[in-house]
Structure formats: C-alpha cells, structure tokens
Amino acid sequence: MTSDRLPAAPRRRSPRLRSLQRILAGAVAAAMITIVVVATARELGRAESVRDYGTDLDRLAGPTLTLVSALQAERRTTAAYWNHRADELALHDQQDRTDLAAGVWHSAAASSADTQAVQTVLNGLAGVHSLRDRISGRDGDRDAVLTPYTAIIDRVISVPRALRPSDGDVAYGVGPLTGLLQAQEALAREDTLLAGAAHGSTLTAGERVRFAEAVGAARSSFAFNAADLPDESRTAYRSLTYSPAWGVLMHAEDLVLQAESAPDGTLVLPPEAVEWTEAYANLRAGLDGMTEDTMRALADRARDKASARRATAVWLAAGAGLLTFGAVALLVLLLGRLVRRTEEIRSSALDVTRRQLPPLILKLQRGEDADMSVLPPQTAENDEFGEIANVVAKLAEEVADAAKAVYEERFGFEKFAEGVTLRAVTLIVAILRSLDDLQDRYADTDSELLRELYELDHLTVRVRRQLENLLVLSGGAVANPHTEPVHVANLIVDAAGEARGFAQVTKEFRAEAWVAPDVAGQLTHLIAELIENATTYSPSGYEVTVRAADVPGGVAVEVEDQGRAPEHWYFQSLNSRLLDVPSYAVLAKSADQLGLFVVGQLAQRHGVQVSLREGRRGGVLASVLVPDALLTREPAGAAQYASLPPRKQPSRQRTQPHAAEILPETTPSGLARRLPTRTSQQHPATARTQEPPVRPAAARPPEPTPDPQAAAAVREALVRQAVAREIPRRATPPVRKPAAGKGSGPLLPQRVPGENLVTQLRKESAKNTPARDERPMDDRPLDDIESAFTGLQDALTAPATPAANPHDKDSER
C-alpha cells in the first residue's frame, strides 16, 4: 500500500536525553534560586517598610500632638472671642502658637512616605488661615467658622493610619492610637461648646445636640480602645479614670445631659459646668502624655517587627539555598537512572518501528501472509520500564492485527458501498430522465398517464429519501442544494412533497422565519420523516395537519395526525430515544423504527428539540422546535414572499367553486391570503369554502359522487397548468417546448424538494415565455400558486368511487 502523504521535511537534530538532563537540572536550580531571591527580597522590602513607618511615627509623635492641641486651643479661643468672652490679643497669641506648631509638624512630615496625606493637612491649614480675617471681624456664622478647625484636626489625626504599615500586627496597633486621638478630640469639642456658650451659661438646641454627640463619642472611644492600648498607656488610662478630676468630668457631663431645656429649646448650664472646665484642664496634660506614649510604643513595635523580618529573610535565604542544592543533586541522580532506562526502551521501540513493523504491516495491508514471530516478545521486568516494554510489544501486535482487520473491513465496505451507490445513482438518474421525457411527451395528450407519471415521480423522490436515511445512519450528511435562506413555509411544502400520502397533508403557516441554507435540506428531511409517519398511521381520508408558528427561542413545527395514539409509557420511550439516540445495536433490533432513528440523529446534530405526545384529536402530535441558531435573516429581495398567513388546504371532499367573487384578505406584507384550488375561469381573488376535515364515525353517509364531466374538465385544466409550468429537478434540465393549443391555463411550477419556489419562479419568468400568445410568465404570489398546486393534488388523487370507511385503514403504531 502506498501512502498519499508527502515525505516529511528534514527535522533538526533534537538534543539528547543527557543534554536535556543537564538543562532540566539547571532550569530547576535557577527556578528555585529565583524563588528564594524573590521571597527574600520581598521580605526585606516589607521589613524596610515597617522600619520606615516606625521612624516616621516616632518623628511625628510630638509635632502631631502639639499641632492638634494648638488647633483645639485656637478653636476654643475663637468660640470664646465670638461671644466676647476673650479679647483679640489672646486670640492672636493662640494663632501664632498654632502657626509655630504647624511649621514644626511640616518639617517633621516632609520626609514621610505618604506625601498625599501630608499635602491634605497642609491644604487644611491654609484654609484655616483664610478664615482668620472673618474671625477678627466676627463676620458670618460662628459654627461655619469653627467647622474647618474640626476638619483639619481630623485630618491630622488620620495621618498615622494613612502611612499604611506593611505589618499586620503594627497595623492593628494603629487602631487604638487613632481611637485615643478621636476621644481627646471629642473632649476638646465639649470644651469648645462650653467656652462658646452665650453669656457663659446658655447652649442653643443645636449646641446641646452636638455636646451630647461629643460626650457619646468620647466615652465610646475610651471604652472600646482601652483594652488594646500598650501596657504603659493602659496603666496611665486606669490612673486617669480613677482620679477625682475624671469623676468631676463625668458628673458634670451627666448634669448637662440631664438638664431640662427652656421652651425655646435653649439650655441653661448647671453650675457644675465650670467644674468640668477645670477638671478637663487638669486631665489634659495626662491625656496628652498617654497619647504620646502610645505613639512611641507603636513606633518601637514597628522597629522590632522590622528587625524580626530581616532576620527571617536571612534564615529563609540560607535554608532555601541548602534545600536547592540538595534538590538539584537528587534530581541529577534520578534523571541519570531514568535516562539510562529510557535509552534501553528507546532502542527497543526504534527496532520495532523501523525494522520489524513496516514490512509486516505492508504485507498485511496488501492481504499477503506475514510472519508474526518477528514481533518483540513480552518481558519479565515488573517495574514501570518493563511495563512500558510490554506495552510496546502489545501495541506492535495489535497494530499488526488492526492492519489486517482494516484491510478486510475496508475491502468489504468499499465493494458494498461502491455497488449500492452506483446502482442507486444509476437507477435514480435513469428514472428521473425517463420521467422528464414522458411528462414532456404526454403533457397535452393523456392526462391519466400524466397523473401516473407524477405518482411515479413522487415514488422516486421517496426512494431518494430512503437512501438519504442510510446516509444519515452511517454518519453522513444529507446533500443540501440550497445556497440562499429558505422560508419555513417553503421548507414544509418540500417536506410534505417527499412524504407518503402528501394529499392528506394540511399546512398552516403562522411563522415568519427563514432557515439557514446549510441546514435547510436536513430539516426538510427531518420534517418529511415525521409527516410520512403521520400519513402512514392515519386512516385514509383523514387530514394530517402541519403547523408552523413563531415561539420564544425559534420556530415550532407541529405534525399532528388522527390515528390511534399509543400508551403514555410508549411516548416516554420514544421521546427518550429522540433525546438520546441509541446505538446501532438497538437500531438492528428496532428496524421498524428507522425513521425515528433518522429524526433523532438529525435533531441531535443540529440542536433541534423533537418530542411526541398525544394530539388534540386523539392521534400523535410531533413537535419540532427549530432554535434561533438555525434561523437567519430574510434574504434581500424576498420580502414580498416572506409573509405567509395562516391557511389550511381544502380536504379531499370538495364542491364546485362558487361564481361569486370577493376581494381577498391581505397579509401584513401585502400578499393575498392563500386561496383554494380554482379553475382557469376563476379570478385569483375568488373566495373558497372550506369544509371541516373528515373524521371517523360509526356510520357515515357515502360521499357525493362528483359530476364526471365537470371533474374531468377541472382535472384537464389543472394538469395542463402543472405540466406547462413544471420546474426541472436537475441543474441542466431538458428544454421543454411550450404546449400548443387554445385555452391553456397559466403555468404552474412543479414542487422540487430542496429548492426555493421564489427562485424558480424568477428564473422561469426570465427565460420562459409562452409561444402561443407571447404573454409574460404568470407572476402571481406564492400563495395563489401553492393553492393551485393543492388543487392539482386533489384532482389527481380524487377517487372515482366513494371512499371506503376510514377505520378499515387504521393500523396500530
């Protein structure tokens, strides 16, 4: 056997295993060293960051407390000056002290890591400077002037937190420090409110609310953060809280909060308010010292943490270096052993693949006898490399057996497929060619023979569909003749034409959708299988209804018959097979359900949901949900054919058309609604009368026998129309000569599965012009053409005698 593959291009020489061993050892060593270096550098960087935080905090401890105290004192003096309880000289002295403290703090914070926090404080100080002119002239609202002082104090307090230490323990210690500063700020706000009280003894309603808020903030901050303070600060806090001044402070606050307000909302301060001011002055120095000790302790903790991190980084680097050296040495030893054993397996495998298997497989592929003893035997080694050697020997044996089996299977299948395909194709081509010739020959001479030719044409289409079933079940795809999107109505018409008993099919179109051309042929085949199943198990004379409607997620196509429905459990079994297509072993046991397997295969390939259930009239209802993924946009130039209104084909029991003419109802796209079969004398807009579908009954009167002369005239006219407008099935159809004669009706297209009627009509109108009267081709809407074609079906299949009882044909599913 010769191979069709091109010879492989020369490959570059790959490195040997021992070279790869050295490369791998070096790569592992480099990777481990890199990890150690990165981890050590990261730990050292964190240690440096923690040390810098401790240094900054130690440097900012004193200036921060000094600046906060100066700003609080200036705020208190401003409030007293506003109510004429302090002179302007005292105010200016305090402002000078604040400016001096701000300058010292700026110098200390200039080298801080967080320049944004420092700049925010400096901007706030500049805003306070801009208010001093208004304060000197007591211009504006006092509370509006005092608010910027509170804001800048809060910014200064938040600087230790904004520096963001890189150690979790140090970061946790920032919380108690910030809480202690906020508690002192709350006490300072109380002092400001008492100092700015009107006449020294009256608080407004708003000032009383702010006083209560400050008291709550101070007490909660002290209580919440006291347990987390450093040991020295916690001892100092206990000393302060047990001091007499602290008791006086708490008692005075309680009296202020419990005092009753005047009717106008003002509050007259109790005499103990003066004692609160004196107690706060005595406690202020102790509170500042406790806060500074807390900041110093936190800075010391940060420096200790930085030293510990540096030591950890050094030990980590040393230990990781030793581990790296040991790992690399062990890796080199193990790789050396693996390389030696691998080279042994490699030599054995190369000997099999290069010297033993190629000539053996070549003989087996040709069908010649070959000596299987040249293959390597199984070894007795029980380690992994011994198992690999045994696997190589086993694979060589299986490859030889597979080569022999492939030759036998391929030879048999090629012969079988070649014979079946050539015979089927030859027969179908010959049949279609003969049918075309016969239809041309007897188009105007023998209507009965033409009817039989159409029946034979339909049988040929069904034969082709059965061959497509074999193709689907063998894993192939149905040939798709479409190159443009196909309207769902055209797809259903094609499917009905490929099914047995197409004259029983009634179509209802309520969907405005176009199917993608690459799946239209396979969806037509799927629906045709369901329609044939419905017509096969429906009594003669009973309609099989095919509906198409737009639903969320796609288009739903329903095929409903009026046969005998199976049991509920049988529906569940069928639906499970449609959802999960079984193996071909099950197919061999259920050969009578070939169409069900085909539908399941097509549905599974394209994501179509197919389900069976009991119908509305007792039969079987097959639902097909075509998802949006298989739909596409309307093709350009097809808008006038896209709107398909709901309609039903007339049943096989028909009466003669009425002579009255009415205007047809139009669809949203402007097309006339579909009309029933009409003779060549009727106007396209003539209304039809639709009788209810024939249903089974215990006793039913015989069907009326139509007038033989009238029926023959109608049949003759419809046959002439269909033959004159027939659309060929092949890409290169024979040229049909226009039928000569007087009174020939308008031409109708012959429905061809897999082809779009709109495209056919355009092509026919462009190239075919009747020779007898030089008129253009009939360009009626698709609705009228399909109605005429339905009439042709009914005329050709109308029985000459009354129909038998429908129950005689009912069969079990």
Percent of the chain with pLDDT over 70: 71
**For the chain, what is the mean pLDDT?**
73
More confident residue, 329 or 514: 514
pLDDT at residue 527, as a whole number: 93
Q: Residue 422 is inside which H or E element, if any?
A: helix 384-441
More confident residue, 250 or 348: 250
Give tens-digit pLDDT for 86-106. 788 888 888 888 889 888 888
Q: What is the mean pLDDT of residues 489-500?
A: 89
pLDDT at residue 29, as a whole number: 81
Give tens-digit pLDDT for 36-73. 888 888 878 888 778 877 787 778 788 888 888 888 88
CATH 3.30.565.10 spans which residues of the chain? 478-642
Highest-confidence segment of 94-98, 371-375, 741-745, 761-765: 94-98
- Give the torsion sign (CA, 84, 86, 89, 91): negative
Indicate the pLDDT class of residue 613, thresholds 50, 70 and 90.
Answer: very high
Indicate the pLDDT class of residue 488, thresholds 50, 70 and 90.
Answer: very high
- Residue 23 above 90 pLDDT? no
Indicate the pLDDT class of residue 659, thresholds 50, 70 and 90.
Answer: very low
Give tens-digit pLDDT for 366-410. 777 777 777 877 776 677 777 888 888 888 888 888 888 877 876
Residue with tokens 């109308």: 798
Q: Which of the residue ranges 354-358, 385-389, 523-527 would you say has the lowest mean pLDDT?
A: 385-389
pLDDT at residue 638, as a whole number: 60
Q: How far is CA 467 from the centre of its chain?
A: 38
pLDDT at residue 199, as a whole number: 62
pLDDT at residue 419, as a whole number: 58
More confident residue, 304 or 675: 304
pLDDT at residue 630, as a whole number: 93
Q: What is the mean pLDDT of residues 139-155?
A: 85
pLDDT at residue 697, as a whole number: 32
pLDDT at residue 573, as a whole number: 87
- Residue 6 above 80 pLDDT? no
- Residue 621 above 50 pLDDT? yes
Q: What would the DSSP string read from start to end of 311-372? A: HHHHHHHHHHHHHHHHHHHHHHHHHHHHHHHHHHHHHHHHHIIIIIHHHHHHHHHHT----G
Which phi and psi angles does 577 have, rounded to 5°? -70, -35
Highest-confidence segment of 204-208, 628-632, 767-771, 800-804: 628-632
Bridging pattern class, strands 514-515 and 486-487: antiparallel
Integer Cα distance of 9 and 7 in angstroms: 6
- Residue 623 above 90 pLDDT? yes
pLDDT at residue 749, as a whole number: 46
Highest-confidence segment of 121-130, 245-254, 358-367: 245-254
Highest-confidence segment of 217-221, 305-309, 327-331, 544-548: 544-548
More confident residue, 588 or 562: 562
- Residue 27 above 50 pLDDT? yes
- Residue 628 above 90 pLDDT? yes
Residues 509 and 783 sit within 8 Å (Cβ to Cβ):
no
Residues 212 and 267 sit within 8 Å (Cβ to Cβ):
no
- Residue 313 above 50 pLDDT? yes
More confident residue, 795 or 650: 795
pLDDT at residue 556, as a whole number: 95
- Residue 264 above 50 pLDDT? yes
Q: What is the mean pLDDT of residues 493-509?
A: 88
Indicate the pLDDT class of residue 125, thresholds 50, 70 and 90.
Answer: confident
Indicate the pLDDT class of residue 514, thresholds 50, 70 and 90.
Answer: very high
Q: Which of the residue ranges 527-531, 566-570, 628-632 would you say has the lowest mean pLDDT?
A: 566-570
The architecture (CATH level 2) of 478-642 comes to 2-Layer Sandwich (3.30)
pLDDT at residue 665, as a whole number: 36
Q: Give the burial string for 90-101 (b: 16+ CB within 10 Å, else e).
A: ebeebbeebeeb
